[in-house]
A and B are shown apart, each in its own frame.
Chain A
Amino acid sequence: MKIGVLALQGAVAEHIRSLEAAGAEAVAIKWPQQLEDVQGLVIPGGESTTIGKLMRKYDFIKAIQQFSEQGKPIFGTCAGLIVLATQIEGNQGPEEPHLALMDMKVRRNAFGRQRESFEADLSVKGIHEPIRAVFIRAPLIDQVGSHVDVICETNGEMVTARQGHLLACSFHPELTDDIRLHQYFVDMVRESMQQQG
């Protein structure tokens, strides 16, 4: 199993390390053609405006949408969650939304500025013990469509969601040594490979 990490900007190496620790082969994706060689894709944390712009510049939008149409799993963290959403709250730029794959409305920098960034222990549906979640100028999910399953909340706010083969969280599992959320995604990729035979 090979999983790609979109490597336009952001915490790429950390995701590769976590995916490898979860038993997958991981590779940095710099060009859309490389998507043909991977069965799953991680869109990492970074700056969503920068990643969004570079995705457009190098024709990643269509390519990733097609990747998703084939039922191949995608996992977005922080900026990756913003990039996956169908709607971005507030001053939505002219080039937004980006991939518009997950039926949810998200709010960037929802907790405030960097001084409000925090870490906390959170329970995730499908994972036994709480995980340490690191929120950095993090976005929140304000609304979700009926077929989106919210699997983690903090103080009543939605921070992790799954829509079939798509997974998104507003924190950074790649910044800790806890690989259980990556393991969860690797399992999603394995299931999708089995389904596709």
Chain B
Amino acid sequence: METGTARVKRGMAEMQKGGVIMDVMNAEQAKVAEAAGATAVMALERVPSDIRAAGGVARMADPTIVEEVMKVVSIPVMAKARIGHFVEAKVLESLGVDYLDESEVLTPADEVFHIDKHDFTVPFVCGAKDLGEALRRIGEGAAMLRTKGEPGTGNIVEAVRHMRLINSQIRKVQNLSKDELYAEAKNLGVSYELLLNVHQHGKLPVVNFAAGGIATPADAALMMHLGADGVFVGSGIFKSDNPEKFARAIVEATTHYTDYKLIAEVSKNLGTPMKGIEISKLAPSERMSDRGW
């Protein structure tokens, strides 16, 4: 009997496919998310848009919040650690969290080294905005990926950019001849073995979700069309007028992302989605997607 194998870690992410993972800040919100059909919840102290508003250093959530959430739902519970902060990650693992997110939404603790994720029994999800980042994170042991997008903006443009870029880079790698892969591995800053795997299979070896800026059911469906295996919704749900209805609508639009009539139906009278921020109005220092390498 073996625990924490790559198959067990990556398999856990496979079970999330076609689903919606929702940010929650307390037990009450976690119950709303589960009742709406979320496949997992991300337990946080503040959602990304509040982190933006508050400024300062954003850290791992208070363990009380994480434990409260774990107590009230039967779906998996995820939590975020700062980039490079392996002690926060170990603390969250000790609480029994099901999945860890080494997240650029929090203030990075290390500007050079990401966490060695092989050193954990619990699997990790990491953000990536291009193929190089994606494969570097997998090399470090990530069992699931997500686009970085631009969290807390309610603006889908960065998530779209990241998903399209990764897809086009994968297509390019597929079309390279085998002897060209060595130089491409150097260009991308990734291991040859991982790049060879992408070349052979035409896809990433782990599940890749969309995240960062998804604010409406149509946004979720758009990301599914672009090849996302599922979606993370952060500030979008509990910053909307009617979180319960909103959460259900996002779940349905993700399941039936090619059914436009259904998406129209669930999008009716949802109230105002979160306000949203134009990306060009963000100062470079406010861009979370530039954190990590």
Interface residues of A (CB under 8 A from B): 7-14, 30, 45-47, 49-50, 53-54, 57, 78-79, 91, 108-109, 112-120, 134-137, 172, 175-176
Some 26 contacts from A to B, beta carbons below 8 A apart, are: A8-B18, A8-B255, A9-B17, A9-B39, A10-B14, A10-B15, A46-B15, A46-B17, A46-B19, A47-B15, A50-B19, A50-B39, A54-B252, A57-B252, A113-B98, A114-B76, A115-B98, A117-B4, A119-B2, A119-B7, A120-B2, A134-B7, A134-B8, A136-B12, A172-B11, A175-B14
Contacts of B97 in A (CB 8 A): 113
* Cα–Cα, bound, A78→B8 (Å): 14
Set A9, A118, A119, A137: member contacting B98, Cβ < 8 A: A137
* Cα–Cα, bound, A57→B249 (Å): 12
B11–A120 touching, CB < 8 Å:
no
Given A8-B18, A114-B76, A114-B98: A50 touches B8 (CB 8 Å cut-off): no
Q: How large is the interface on B (under 10, 10 to 19, 20 to 34, 35 or more residues)?
A: 35 or more
Q: Does B121 contact A (CB under 8 A)?
A: yes
Main secondary structure of the interface of B (DSSP, over half): loop
Q: Does B40 contact A (CB under 8 A)?
A: yes
* Cα–Cα, bound, A26→B16 (Å): 21
B99–A136 touching, CB < 8 Å:
no
Number of A-B contacts (CB under 8 A): 113
B3–A50 touching, CB < 8 Å:
no
Q: Quick one: which of B97-111 are within 8 Å of A by CB? A: 97-99
* Cα–Cα, bound, A175→B10 (Å): 9
State the Cβ distance, B89 to closest chain A Cβ, in Å.
Answer: 13
Contacts of A135 in B (CB 8 A): 8
A78–B15 touching, CB < 8 Å:
yes
Q: Does B64 contact A (CB under 8 A)?
A: no
Q: Does B245 contact A (CB under 8 A)?
A: no
State the Cβ distance, B36 to closest chain A Cβ, in Å.
Answer: 8
B75–A47 touching, CB < 8 Å:
yes
Contacts of B4 in A (CB 8 A): 115, 117
Set A9, A78, A115: member contacting B19, Cβ < 8 A: A9
Set A11, A30, A54, A112: member contacting B17, Cβ < 8 A: A11
Contacts of A113 in B (CB 8 A): 76, 96-98
* Cα–Cα, bound, A104→B30 (Å): 29
New A-B pairs, 19, CB < 8 Å, besides A9-B255, A49-B74: A7-B18, A10-B17, A10-B18, A10-B19, A46-B16, A46-B19, A46-B39, A50-B37, A54-B251, A54-B252, A108-B74, A109-B74, A113-B76, A117-B4, A117-B12, A118-B5, A134-B8, A175-B11, A175-B14
Q: Does B244 contact A (CB under 8 A)?
A: no
State the Cβ distance, A112 to closest chain B Cβ, in Å.
Answer: 8
Q: Quick one: which of B252-268 are within 8 Å of A by CB? A: 252, 255-256
Contacts of A109 in B (CB 8 A): 74
Contacts of B283 in A (CB 8 A): none
Contacts of B255 in A (CB 8 A): 8-9, 30, 54
Contacts of A46 in B (CB 8 A): 15-19, 39
